[in-house]
Each structure stands twice: as structure tokens, then as C-alpha cells.
Amino acid sequence: MSLKKYNTSEITPSEWHAINQFTSELELQNYTCVSIYYPHDKRSEILTLLDKPKNNQAREKIEFLIKQEITKQVKPTKPRKQFINTYCIFGWQKNNKIVLKKIAISKEMPFVYVAGKKIYLKPFRDILKTNYHIILVIIDQKSDHIRYIQGNKILADEKSSINLQG
């Protein structure tokens, strides 16, 4: 039996966990939000998009701070463990203060700009779906438990009793 190596389309378990924690935190927010996903090579395009005038003053303030955050980002001079393919920035106004949350991920994602009543998290949900097939076997002296799992669904669950000598 050999362990499957990660494809370039998959993310590491530690990055999956970081994205999951990040999205869990964002899901708690219930404010009008600007959600931006942009590949590392589309930086100038997102800055051009943010320069366009809007009719909403609150949204303009959020976008101004997002633009400042994007222009502050510089390429790292030291080699990194994982290459950044997509930057994700979310901004909303809470108690007359603008809150920005950002994350950089190694997975390539589409260029997305959404200003809406909720934070746009669909691209993250697509990444967090797991499609692994797992067979879990638990054996003790009196019983065994076999479970067949695909992603987050249990496809088969079997329990039986056994008699092993100690």
C-alpha cells in the first residue's frame, strides 16, 4: 500500500486547517462586505477595479483600505515553503470601523470581486470539500467497527462482536 502524494490541485492538511479556521471566523460576520480573490499575477487588474468610483461611501472607504493593503504587499525576498497563488481580502464596516481580513493560499482560484450583504465564501467551500475515500477500522478485544467514508459522508458502517484472547 502506498500513500498518495499531493497533486498540485490539492492543498496540504495544515493549509486546509488554516483555511477552515479562517472561514469559520468569517462566517460569524453579518455585515455588508467586499470580498476579493485575486491571483498573484492579477494585482494591477484589481487595483484598477478598485479605482473606479462607486455610489456607496461606505464601500469606497472599505475599498480604499483594501487598495492600501494590496499596494503594501511586496514579493517575499526569501524563498518560501509554499508558493502563493491567490490572495483573498475581505472588508466590512463594524461600529464605524473598517475591518479587513486577509489570507494567502497556494491553490489557484479565479479572479472574483463581490460586494454584497454577506461575505462571499463559495471558492473556499469548494477547496474545503474533501473527496478522499477512507476505510476506518477499530478493533478491540470484544468488537470491531468498520466505517467507509467518502469526503464527509459515511457510506457504510458495520459493527460486529469478536472474541480475542487477551
Q: Tell me if 111 sits within 8 A of 38, measured CB to CB.
A: yes
6 within some domain = no
Do 86 and 139 lie in one domain? The reply is: no
What string of pLDDT tens digits covers the 166 residues of the chain?
333 343 445 678 888 888 889 998 888 888 889 999 998 888 888 888 888 887 788 888 889 999 988 888 765 444 455 578 889 999 998 888 999 999 999 888 888 999 888 889 988 888 887 666 778 888 887 888 898 877 667 788 899 887 767 6
The pLDDT value given to residue 91? 92
Do 107 and 151 lie in one domain? The reply is: no
Q: Tell me if 105 sits within 8 A of 86, measured CB to CB.
A: yes
138 alpha-carbon distance from chain centroid = 31
Host domain of residue 157: 131-166
Computed on alpha carbons and rounded to an integer, the radius of gyration of the chain in Å comes to: 22
Number of domains in the chain: 2
The whole-angstrom separation of Cα 67 and Cα 82 is 25
Please give the backbone phi and psi of residue 64, each rounded to the nearest 5 degrees, phi first. -65, -45
Do 159 and 78 lie in one domain? The reply is: no
Do 67 and 148 lie in one domain? The reply is: no
The whole-angstrom separation of Cα 105 and Cα 12 is 10
8 within some domain = no
Do 77 and 91 lie in one domain? The reply is: yes
Do 61 and 76 lie in one domain? The reply is: yes
Do 34 and 115 lie in one domain? The reply is: yes
User: What residue has cell string 458495520?
Assistant: 158
C-beta atoms surrounding 18 within 10 Å: 14
CATH number of the domain within which 116 lies: 3.30.960.10
First-to-last CA distance in the chain?
A: 29
User: What residue has cell string 486577509?
Assistant: 102
Do 145 and 124 lie in one domain? The reply is: no
Do 40 and 120 lie in one domain? The reply is: yes
The pLDDT value given to residue 109? 86
